[in-house]
């Protein structure tokens, strides 16, 4: 890369930000775990490049070797269709799966793990981190946003009006969280964490596995339960929330804000466990889609909203993997197939001008730029 480090493996969640002129800034997660070999990380096959960055910019330098997860930033020129530069932008975290863009021009990256200090780890994990979008090589200060909770994070979506941050949890009985910061746009200054509850329904199971509690198009009023002890050293935040009446969801995954609504995926929701899409608007929760048909949607993961309102989903299922589209009228169709392997698509997002769709092929370690013109399907 431009900073002399190695482009890490396993690109995952991603978002695009405006740069100079025709440039776009992409911030890209890398889902490297504690057991990932050094060859997949940014510091070389034997971590020989670790000394190229200040030690205090590595969140967890480890006992014998640094954690290899984090983010890279890629600057792409829409006019020339070439990469201008790319560099490491967050270092020393674990299993950076998804996240979400913010109105203050940054990417919140999320650790999908609750691995604790001990063994090779020098620090606890299970946090979110705020990474500024910069077009020149820069490493973000690795400050864990502890008030946002410690759990198996997946994705976030920020309400631009309030600055509140909504979060998914990748567990079979995960919750949906809402972080209300003390100061809008300054998450490190703390705030309060809440969990979603369906009104007049204590601990509602939304998964539709053994009992159908939601039909497609159903909309129910919700409220928010304040959570305590959110740093959760026992990884029991979701359990305590459910006991207080919070609704549980089937492995919350991708999440995206658009036009006053927040859409999120539950990858194995539904009677056939092939996935659900939910829509959160003001104080209501709606089951937006539940195809129960792998030929239509097979375990939806990351998602985005097209400029014209259609949802674009990354599959993480069995066999062939596709990008799926759900139009604003409810039609579902395949947009693209991973013809190279059965590896998942990830990090789907549009350039700020809507001309280019970016997506990662995780297993191959590739980031694709797919150009239009795009015909509105909504």
What pLDDT was estimated at residue 378?
43
What is the residue range of 124's domain? 1-144
Domain identity same for 101 and 6: yes
Least confident range of 151-165, 256-270, 363-377: 363-377
pLDDT digits (tens, 9 = 90+) for 311-342: 999 999 999 999 999 999 999 999 999 999 99
Residues 113 and 166 in one domain: no
Same domain? For 125 and 2 the reply is: yes
CA dist., res. 77 & res. 213, Å (int): 47
Q: Which of 253, 279, 308 is the last residue of a domain?
A: 253
Domain count, the chain: 2
How many Cβ atoms sit within 10 Å of the Cβ of residue 114? 19
What's the whole-model pTM score?
0.97
Last residue of a domain, one of 100, 123, 144: 144
DSSP 8-state assignment for residue 60: -
From residue 232, alpha-carbon distances to 21, 114, 152, 192, 227 in Å are 44, 9, 11, 14, 10
User: Are 15 and 69 part of one and the same domain?
Assistant: yes
- Diameter of the chain measured on Cα atoms: 57
Mean pLDDT in residue range 54-81: 97
For residue 339, being part of any structural domain is answered with: no
Dihedral sign computed on CA atoms, order 53, 50, 358, 186? negative
Look at residue 335 and tell me if it is in a domain. Answer: no
Please determine, for residue 31, whether its predicted confidence score (pLDDT) is greater than 80.
yes
Which pLDDT score is estimated for 372? 81
For residues 125 and 174, state if they share a domain.
Answer: no
- Tens of pLDDT, residues 109-144: 999 999 999 999 999 999 999 999 999 999 999 999
Residues 6+ apart with CB under 8 A from 176: 166, 167, 168, 169, 195, 196, 247, 249, 252, 264, 280
In this structure, the answer to whether residues 135 and 239 fall within a common structural domain is no
Helix (H) or strand (E) holding 238: helix 237-243
Inform me whether the pLDDT recorded for 345 exceeds 50: yes
SS3 label, residue 92: strand
Instruction: Say yes or no to pLDDT of 16 above 60.
Output: yes
Band of the pLDDT at 38, cuts 50, 70, 90?
confident
Residue 376, pLDDT > 80, answer: no
What whole-number distance in Å separates Cα of residue 368 and Cα of residue 356? 10
Residue 40 DSSP code = G
Is 304 inside any structural domain?
no
Is residue 4 in some structural domain? yes
R_g over Cα of the chain: 19
Domain check: are 212 and 190 in the same one?
yes
List of residues 6+ apart from 167 with CB closer than 8 A: 110, 128, 148, 149, 153, 154, 155, 156, 176, 177, 178, 179, 255
Is residue 313 a part of any domain in this protein? no
Predicted local confidence at residue 78, as pLDDT: 98
Same domain for 167 and 114, yes or no, is: no
Give the mean model confidence (pLDDT) for residues 352-377: 91
Asked whether residue 11 falls in the same domain as residue 104, the answer is yes
Residue 284 lies in a domain: no
Are 74 and 207 within one domain?
no
Q: Return the pLDDT at 377.
A: 46
* Per-chain mean pLDDT for the chain: 97
Of 103, 120, 144, the last residue of a domain is 144
- Per-residue model confidence (pLDDT) at position 374: 84
**332 located within any domain:** no
What would the pLDDT profile of 227-247 be if each residue is shown by its tens digit?
A: 999 999 999 999 999 999 999
């Amino acid at each position: 890369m431009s900073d002399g480090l190695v482009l890490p493996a396993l690109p995952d969640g991603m978002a695009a930000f405006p740069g100079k002129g025709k440039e776009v800034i992409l911030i890209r997660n890398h889902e490297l775990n504690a057991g990932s070999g050094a060859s997949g990380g940014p510091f070389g096959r034997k971590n020989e490049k670790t000394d190229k960055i200040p030690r205090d910019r590595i969140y967890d330098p480890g006992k014998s070797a640094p954690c290899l997860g984090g983010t890279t930033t890629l600057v792409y020129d829409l006019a020339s269709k070439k990469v201008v530069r790319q560099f490491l932008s967050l270092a020393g975290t674990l299993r950076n799966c998804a996240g979400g863009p913010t109105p203050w021009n940054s990417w919140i990256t999320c650790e999908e793990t609750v691995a604790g200090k001990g063994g090779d780890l020098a620090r606890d994990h299970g946090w979110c981190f705020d990474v500024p979008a910069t077009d020149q090589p820069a490493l973000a200060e690795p400050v864990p946003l502890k008030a946002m909770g410690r759990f198996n994070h997946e994705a976030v979506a920020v309400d631009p009006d309030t600055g509140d941050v909504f979060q998914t949890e990748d567990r079979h009985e995960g919750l949906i969280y809402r972080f209300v910061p003390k100061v809008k746009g300054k998450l490190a200054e703390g705030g309060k964490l809440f969990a979603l509850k369906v009104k007049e329904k204590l601990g509602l199971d939304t998964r539709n596995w053994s009992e159908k509690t939601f039909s497609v198009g159903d909309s129910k009023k919700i409220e928010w339960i304040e959570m305590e002890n959110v740093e959760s050293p026992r990884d029991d935040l979701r359990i305590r929330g459910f006991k207080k009446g919070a609704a549980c969801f089937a492995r919350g995954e991708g999440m995206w804000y658009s036009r006053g609504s927040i859409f999120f995926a539950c990858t194995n929701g539904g009677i056939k466990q092939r996935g659900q899409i939910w829509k959160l608007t003001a104080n209501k929760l709606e089951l937006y889609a539940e195809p129960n048909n792998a030929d239509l949607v097979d375990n939806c993961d990351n998602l985005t909203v097209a400029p014209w309102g259609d949802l674009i989903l990354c599959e993480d299922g069995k066999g062939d993997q596709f990008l799926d589209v759900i139009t604003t009228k409810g039609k579902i169709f395949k947009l693209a197939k991973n013809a190279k392997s059965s590896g998942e698509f990830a990090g789907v997002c549009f350039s700020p001008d809507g001309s280019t769709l970016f997506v990662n092929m995780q297993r191959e370690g590739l980031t694709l730029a797919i150009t239009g013109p795009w015909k509105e399907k909504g």
